[in-house]
Chain A
């Protein structure tokens, strides 16, 4: 019963490097999203997807790319890391596309950019 799985758990990057944060869910959820969590800021939506092949921007999309080629996977790409992207990143999914749907979260990826 894996739920939402994020890898890696920790990552350190140098400014300008690129990387991909992985997110996979095994619950056949159509809806997936990425949030970043910063001290005193709560969680802010980066990108989300309502199904395979469909993505859209959230509140803070700059510097991040996403794609959704399968229902299960929703990777988040940092093309050129900046110190401002130091954060904890959470992937989340939900089954139903209604406003009542609770989110299922992964355990997060802690990213440090030096």
Chain B
């Protein structure tokens, strides 16, 4: 079946460090790929998305490129801030019903000043 695998955390970085969170997927068809972020005590928010191969999603300095050949959607940011501390979820959707997202287990990022 369809699945998403994320690197396990927690990831601990100093402010201004480079961030990569790995995400790979298994899916039939042509899924859309998403990164969601969850700040403490809140629900998940969409961070970025990509809908087809080679698309690059970007938002708030974060980027991820849809790589069909490696079935990957790694999240990157060039210079993290303390305010980026959160849990990050990779997800895919390949069904017509928009609610049917499959999530990875989440990666906790902690940034210190």
Instruction: Give the B-binding residues of A (Cβ under 8 A).
Output: 4, 31-33, 35, 40-45, 48-50, 56, 58, 90, 92-103, 105-108
Instruction: Give the A-binding residues of B (Cβ under 8 A).
Output: 4, 31-32, 34, 36, 41-46, 49, 51, 89, 93-106
Q: Contact at B99–A105, with CB atoms within 8 Å?
A: no
Query: Nearest chain B CB to A56's CB is how many angstroms away?
Result: 8
> What A residues does B34 contact at CB under 8 A?
102
Query: Nearest chain A CB to B71's CB is how many angstroms away?
Result: 16
What's the Cα separation between A13 and B93 when bound, in Å? 34
Q: Contact at A31–B43, with CB atoms within 8 Å?
A: no
Set B41, B44, B95: member contacting A99, Cβ < 8 A: B95
> What A residues does B32 contact at CB under 8 A?
99-100
> What B residues does A96 contact at CB under 8 A?
98
Set A32, A42, A44, A108: member contacting B99, Cβ < 8 A: A32
Top 6 nearest A-B pairs by Cβ distance? A101-B98, A105-B43, A33-B99, A42-B105, A102-B46, A94-B98
A-B pairs with beta carbons under 8 Å apart, 6 shown: A32-B99, A33-B99, A99-B94, A100-B98, A102-B34, A107-B42
Closest B residue, CB atoms, query A88 = B43
Q: Contact at B103–A31, with CB atoms within 8 Å?
A: no
Q: A31-B97, A58-B100, A101-B93 are in contact. List 11 more A-B contacts (CB 8 A).
A: A32-B99, A41-B105, A44-B103, A45-B100, A48-B100, A50-B97, A96-B98, A98-B98, A99-B98, A103-B101, A107-B43
